[in-house]
Amino acid sequence: MSDSLTLATNCAKHANEIQAERIEVLDLRGISSLADFFVICSATSLPHLKAVSRDVRHNTQEETGESPRSAEGEASSLWLVLDYVDVVVHIFHEEKRDFYALEDLWADAPRVELGFLAGDVSE
């Protein structure tokens, strides 16, 4: 069983490998009982949204042995959620992400630095 930070960064890494955009990992420990981390990323089309979800699920399972306890949403809703209990992965179509603005809602959550992102400017 992976620790939640390892699982969150693993999910983010696999989203990056399939060219998900604007990948953020929010550290909710001590802020919320919902989860330890949110991974938030964007996809550019419906097929890309499905591919990001598929690859994050498959590659995270292969690498860590972890599968989401549940998965919510349909690609047509433009927002898919993979719930790993301590880590929740939000995959948005780019236009829905700005509408829901989870980063603004959780503005007090520290961002996890993701060194594998080219040009990463996370604080």
pLDDT, average across residues 15-38: 96
In this predicted structure, the answer to whether residue 17 has a pLDDT above a threshold of 80 is yes
For Cα atoms 54, 57, 30, give the angle at the middle one, nearest 5 degrees.
Answer: 130
CATH number of the domain that residue 79 is part of: 3.30.460.10
Asked if the model's pLDDT at residue 122 lies above 90, the reply is: no
14: containing domain = 4-105
pTM over 0.75: yes
pLDDT at 9 over 90: yes
Within a domain: 118:
no
- Number of domains the chain contains: 1
User: How confident is the model over 59-118, as pLDDT tens digits?
Assistant: 999 999 999 999 999 999 999 999 999 999 999 999 899 999 999 999 999 999 998 775
Residue 57: Cβ within 10 Å count: 19
Residue 17 in any domain: the answer is yes
Asked if residue 52 is part of any domain, the answer here is yes
